[in-house]
Structure 1
Amino acid sequence: MRGRMWWGFALSVLSLLVLLSVGIAAAAETIKIGVIAPFKTPSGESLLNGAKMAVDEINASGGIMGKKVELITANTEYKPQVGATAYKKLVIEDKCQVVFGTCSSGVAKSVMDQMGRYKVLFISTGAASEALADQYKSDKEKYKYWFRVMHQSGDLIDALQQFMWELPIQKMGAKKMAIMAENALWTRDMVKAAEEFFKQKGVETVYSEFFDGETKDFTPVFTKIMNAKADYIYEISAHVDGALYIKQWYDLKGPMIGGVSGTGASDRYWKDSGGKAVGETLVAMGSFRVPLTPKSVEFFDKYKQLFNEAPGYTSGYTYDALYIYKNAVEKAKTSDSAKLVPVLEKTDQVGVVGRWVFDDLHNAKYGPGYRELPMVQWREDGSRQVVWPANVATGEYMLPPWMKK
């Protein structure tokens, strides 16, 4: 009896060891990639879709170094602490070798604190604030695992200021500007820069205020703007659903409006706004059907076929980021974060958004030869036309319907 019990125990242990070795071998043949995003939001779903599209393509072509890529996602809920916890779970429990994403600079900043502790790559594809680069600069050794595959607030500032100067101000004669921005980390420098730019150009800023992210009724905001006789509204939002305020702008027949809207980059925005976004002009942020690179239009068409909507602002960035990571791993012949840092720093490749080269703060370079941020305008039929810059424009800049006469 004792002999049989001993052999039973021995066989159980042996079986367990076999299963464990099989599991370890399977894990060794897999590269786990984590993606964090605010689920069930236009920006978050666009980010997740971009990641899924890239992973499916990579796996179909043989994976990374012959290893299958496993995608594991986690919800940030647009909350810094939730995002930080999501990163920790992906790294500690799920054993992810890299984490991509987040659509919030506040969340990204919180994640970077955890990244500095756990030393696993965090490639940001949806957070624009310069505060992230400042954090890296404060301790380059601690935060070296962070890279930004996306625009910065400064890139948006450059593009939007040039657009507003050339079209609303010079062509359409706007002389009084209003600035309405959500109260968030990434918007502060943009507002300050806009106020200084308008002053320098001799254009009057008649309204400039931040609105709370929980605001539902924007009538008081637009009433102040219209009472101030503003000719143009410079909108700056990402976390707030722009469809909420654009419907009220339309109903009040406000002045020209445009700028940046995270939700406004999505196809569903037209339906969400009830068709009232007509005349609104928004920065495309790398995910519109414009030949920014030889890969851009093909990516746009395939994405729309797969997900039945146009890419959002985070889609192209996240898609490109996964290919940047893939190429780095294959060059370094390892997925070890510390060994990948110097390889990523030497990145120079063309994606669907533009040419990706990192500066000494791990930001992606912007400007001629790197990336462009075109402006697109919603039309009465629900389509969008590129109206700026002239070299990629597909249509003329138009006034809102009630202003055309």
Structure 2
Amino acid sequence: MRRVTLILALTIILILLAVTGLLLLVPSPTPSAQRPTQTTPVTTPGGVVKIGFLGPVTTTYGTIALNSIKLAVEEINNAGGILGRRIEIVVFDDQNRPDLAVTGFRKLVGEDKVVAIFGIHSSAVGLALLPLIKEAKVPVFAMGSVADDIDRQVAENATLKYWFRFNINASMHALMVTEPAKYISQKFGFSKVGLLYDQHAWTVAVIKRAKAELEKAGLQIVFEGTIDPGKMTTFVPILSKARDAGVQILLVWSAYGDGKVLQRDYYALKPPFVIIQFDVVGMGFLQWNATSGSLPYQIFAWYFFAETPDAVRFAKSYEQKYGRLMYFYPPYFMYDAVYAWKSAVERAGTFDGDAVADVLYKNGYKGVSGNWVFTRGHSPLFGPGYISTVAVQWTEDGKVVVVWPPNLATGEVKLPPWVK
């Protein structure tokens, strides 16, 4: 009887072992079976999450943008990271070329598995990336790429909700120049205006809006010229034509480094009109040396950053690490972009692109640059209390005076001696 009982027990044990073995051979559900999106962060044992920088690294503004991002990331990592993970930056130099940007975007998302991308200066680059962004579902924070057509596509297509521009759009860049120009024209009785601008996608909406604003103000456009971006060696013929057309104030929009040539030629030729310009590359104190001191009496539209405690702290931190902040596009914007992303991730409790994009659009972000409140096209609101600008005028001794708007002015507009 005991022998039978023992045999029966051994038989039951063998059956149980066999069943257990079969269960171990059955595959368990894997993450791939749950169709993860590309926004799922890839972490190392140290808990690292990657973000990308995609932009013109070798340009002055590209270097400063990247430095500002690095500064924000260092501060965040020193404070414990985001959701317990440290941030690592992967850099790709797109050289402002759409083809390189597409390659870089695919690498950052597909190989490096970044959960957010910062940078993007050129409008042509931004437009080229939109189809990729909707597929990748990775939040993108552009420092430029201001074409209004991007806003239109984002507003009309919910699958592009991952795009955010941390800069004002092209139409608002028109107002950066036309508003102080109207003020100056009224002050000195000017009525004849000239327009000079990059022959580029980003200026299409700029000039359309500028013409409408000038017409409403009763100003007559008597000259219109274009800039071949990044290729101008002289502006003397253009300035001469503007002079011969009777221009009293010339409005300029330039984004690719041609401004220093224009500014030198203007100061050397001294045509009898005022010049006011939006010059991306010339937006800072470095431009004085870049033009060998050829800036007296020239007026520039600059981004305005209130001297709040946070803004002052950022400037001091940047100076300690990289030297004095001499250029104002786009360090504040990109610094804010990183912290805005951090805020959205923490509110959402995840790095998932859909959740982060929804939270950022709904809540915005208050940073060192101002109050980021986004339109349906994911461009920030422009004006007092949001993202705002000033007009500054260079003095003969290389200083800068704010001349517009009047409530922020530190001095009066002075006509060049050669303007009668």
TM-score (norm 2): 0.85
User: Does 2:318 match 1:300?
Assistant: no
Paired position in structure 2 for 1:333: 349
* Alignment coverage as a number of residue pairs: 376
Paired position in structure 1 for 2:402: 386
User: Does 2:65 match 1:47?
Assistant: yes
Paired position in structure 2 for 1:70: 88
Q: 1:199 to 1:246 in 2, by over 3 A?
A: same
Q: CA deviation at 1:401?
A: 4.7
Q: What does 1:277-292 correspond to in 2, within 5 Å?
A: 277-286=295-304, 290-291=306-307
Distance in 2 (CA, whole Å) between partners of 1:160 and 1:116 is: 34
What is the identity percentage for the equivalent residue pairs of Structure 1 and Structure 2? 32
Range 388-397 or range 241-250, more displaced? 388-397
Distance in 2 (CA, whole Å) between partners of 1:27 and 1:132 is: 39
Q: What does 1:6-405 correspond to in 2, within 5 Å?
A: 26=44, 29-141=47-159, 143-167=160-184, 169-213=185-229, 214-254=231-271, 255-286=273-304, 290-291=306-307, 293-308=308-323, 309-403=325-419
Distance in 2 (CA, whole Å) between partners of 1:183 and 1:148 is: 22
Q: 1:92 to 1:270 in 2, by over 3 A?
A: same
Deviations 1:142-193 (A, max 9, x none): x1211122111222223322211112x0112222111100111111121122
Q: CA deviation at 1:34?
A: 0.6
SS at match of 1:170: helix
Q: CA deviation at 1:307?
A: 2.6
Is this contact kept in 2: 1:176–1:231, CA < 8 A? yes
Q: CA deviation at 1:45?
A: 1.8
Paired position in structure 1 for 2:39: none
Distance in 2 (CA, whole Å) between partners of 1:50 and 1:126 is: 15
* Structure with bigger gyration radius: 2
Q: CA deviation at 1:343?
A: 0.9
Paired position in structure 2 for 1:8: none
Letter in 2 for 1:306: K
Q: CA deviation at 1:134?
A: 1.5
Q: 1:335 to 1:401 in 2, by over 3 A?
A: farther
SS at match of 2:76: helix
Is this contact kept in 1: 2:276–2:300, CA < 8 A? yes
Q: 1:47 to 1:147 in 2, by over 3 A?
A: same
Range 191-200 or range 233-242, more displaced? 191-200
Deviations 1:205-231 (A, max 9, x none): 111122211222211111101111211
Range 356-365 or range 173-182, more displaced? 356-365
Q: CA deviation at 1:297?
A: 3.2
SS at match of 2:195: strand
Letter in 1 for 2:107: K
Distance in 2 (CA, whole Å) between partners of 1:334 and 1:162 is: 42
Deviations 1:344-388 (A, max 9, x none): 111233211111122222221222332211112222222222211
RMSD: 1.9
SS at match of 1:260: strand
Q: 1:103 to 1:345 in 2, by over 3 A?
A: same
TM-score (norm 1): 0.87
Distance in 1 (CA, whole Å) between partners of 2:416 and 2:45 is: 56
Is this contact kept in 1: 2:344–2:359, CA < 8 A? yes
Q: CA deviation at 1:327?
A: 0.6
Distance in 1 (CA, whole Å) between partners of 2:91 and 2:261 is: 28
Q: CA deviation at 1:29?
A: 0.9
SS at match of 1:177: strand
SS at match of 2:388: coil
Distance in 1 (CA, whole Å) between partners of 2:174 and 2:318 is: 28
Distance in 2 (CA, whole Å) between partners of 1:233 and 1:92 is: 47
Distance in 2 (CA, whole Å) between partners of 1:261 and 1:120 is: 31
> Structure 2 stretches of 5 or more lacking a match?
1-41
Q: CA deviation at 1:28?
A: 6.7
List structure 1 segments (4+ residues) > 4 angstroms apart after TM superposition. none
Distance in 1 (CA, whole Å) between partners of 2:112 and 2:265 is: 45
